[in-house]
Amino acid sequence: MNALLLAEARRTRSQVERAAIAAGEELAEQMFRGISAIDYRKRCKPSGSVNRRTNSSIKTPAGLLPVAFLLAWPVLAQEAQNELWPELNVFVKLSENSRLYLLASGTRVEEQGNSDGQLGVHLDFFTTPILKNRMERTARRIDVAKNKFLQIRIGYLFSRSSKSSSNPFVEHTPMFETSPRYYLPKQILLTERAKVDLRFVDGVFTPRFRDRLRVERTLRVSRTAITPYAHVEAFYDWRYDTWHRFRYAGGVEWELSRRLVLEGYYLRQRDNRSSTKYLNAVGLVLQLYLR
């Protein structure tokens, strides 16, 4: 009798978790559509019209975020791998429309006690926005990329696991990405990053495509600035011929000085093809800008 009750309880829990995931994903899709609708209505709105509908459309997608997190809480509470992601980013200005980007990062796995690392070198190229004065007046950020309409990045990443890892690997990744940016009403910045990773994992070519949508807004506080943000990202892997990995993150960037930015975030990952389906990560990033 106890065994039957236990089995029924497990089935009920599984159904609740699946329903929470579906509800959270549906709300995220509604947020995407709502943000896109804001920009469309802004372009199509005749002059002299009232801004009441636009302001309402901004509030609606943002209001969906806490609901999505509440619905997904049963999933967040279940067993998942916990990791710490420290990272250092160095940006060296080459010209008004180009820069060098250096990256060093690591991953610390809490349960296993091991770690792996990643090193990267990139070149960033920018295009001047059509509404240059408006965009620069709106942005005014240490990161000059936030003042540009389009960013193109090419680079190379090298990563490997520690010798004590239970699943050792060596990875070489040439990459290419584009990031168009749009300033919406209320100085909300929308960035869509499309990235191609031409990965060679232990000598095997395993390319993948990543699409990330990020929403942020900079708040001026005295002589500094704080930028809260949220993003969602989907991964398409040619090995599986499907979208298999999804990430949801929220964080804050804090401008410490004219050259230093400290970033902290929490990230939740769901991977349908990994032995570890759920992952929780806390990231800490130090950004250094050299001019």
Please, what are the averages of pLDDT over each run of 10 residues along the chain (291 residues)?
54 57 54 47 45 40 48 56 95 94 87 74 86 53 86 96 80 97 90 97 95 95 91 96 97 94 97 91 97 81
pLDDT at 140: 60
pTM score, two decimals? 0.71
Percent of the chain that is helix, strand, coil (3-state, to 5): 30, 50, 20
Candidates 1.10.3470, 2.60.40, 2.40.128, 2.40.160; CATH matching 83-290: 2.40.128
pLDDT at 121: 98
pLDDT at 80: 84
Residues with Cβ within 8 Å of 48's Cβ and at least 6 positions away in sequence, in order, are: none
pLDDT at 51: 43
Long-range contacts of 219-225 (CB under 8 A, 24+ apart): 224/254, 224/255, 224/256, 225/141, 225/254, 225/255
Domain segments of the chain: what residues?
Answer: 2-76, 83-290
Between CA 195 and CA 178 the distance in angstroms is: 7
CA distances from 162 to 112, 170, 223 (A): 12, 10, 42
pLDDT at 156: 98
CA distances from 200 to 102, 127, 207 (A): 20, 31, 8
pLDDT at 201: 93
Residues with Cβ within 8 Å of 209's Cβ and at least 6 positions away in sequence, in order, are: 194, 195, 196, 197, 235, 236
The residue type at 79: E
pLDDT at 90: 98
3-state SS assignment for residue 286? strand
pLDDT at 52: 41
φ, ψ of residue 272 to 5 degrees: the values are -80, -10
pLDDT at 88: 97
Between CA 35 and CA 173 the distance in angstroms is: 32
